[in-house]
Amino acid sequence: MPAKPAQEDDVHSKHGNYTPHPQPRLYTRPISNKHQQQQSLRIVPSKATASTTSQHAGAPSAPGIHDTLRANNGLTNPLVSSTTGSAQAHQLQSSHPLEQRLTAWRSTQDALKMQLLRRQFGIAEPVRRGMELKIAREGEWRPRMLGYGASVSSDILAGRDQEVGWEDVFVGDELRDVPDFHTEMEGRLKMNW
């Protein structure tokens, strides 16, 4: 059996005239911190709690149940400072750092799912799903008698069709006077002249 010829790389390296081909350099731009956070595969929302706490009303009560003591405390109400006398925008702080993470839980899970879909199937899949969700949310109308929960089609598209949360039961306007179906339909079709 004849011997196999030596590889070209071996021949060139023995004679000393072999120069490896330089690998093409890919241009990489610095990634901003915001862009890096969007592309991270974060399972739990980021820790965004305040480093200092102040004594304000704690976590908001459950929606749908009227709380007289906290009725005037809203996230958009300005706080009048007693030292300066000027109105400043004020956001209520939670008494527990876990509450802020729980409020961002669903959006973090949706961002993780879309990022995984993008990495697996490309940009077209998250864009398509986002368009389908937008069409489903804009196209479905539910009368107020049934409550303002999420629509069935948007729940199916978001993968939440088998979940039941407290938001599905306590919508928040149980104590409000709800118009009947016919009055609402006349207002929607502009027939209430």
pLDDT tens sequence for the chain (193 residues)? 555 555 544 445 455 555 555 555 544 455 455 544 455 777 777 776 556 655 544 445 566 666 655 555 544 444 455 555 544 554 555 456 777 777 788 889 999 999 999 999 999 999 999 999 999 988 887 777 776 666 788 889 988 888 887 777 776 666 677 778 888 888 888 887 7
User: Is residue 68 within 8 Å of 174, Cβ to Cβ?
Assistant: no
Cα–Cα–Cα angle for 146, 151, 154, nearest 5°? 175
Q: Is 171 buried (19+), middle (13-18) or exposed (0-12) by CB count in 10 A?
A: middle
Q: Which of 143, 139, 172 is nearest to 60 (CA)?
A: 172
Q: pTM of the predicted model, to two decimals?
A: 0.48
Q: What is the pLDDT of residue 112?
A: 93
Q: What is the pLDDT of residue 135?
A: 93
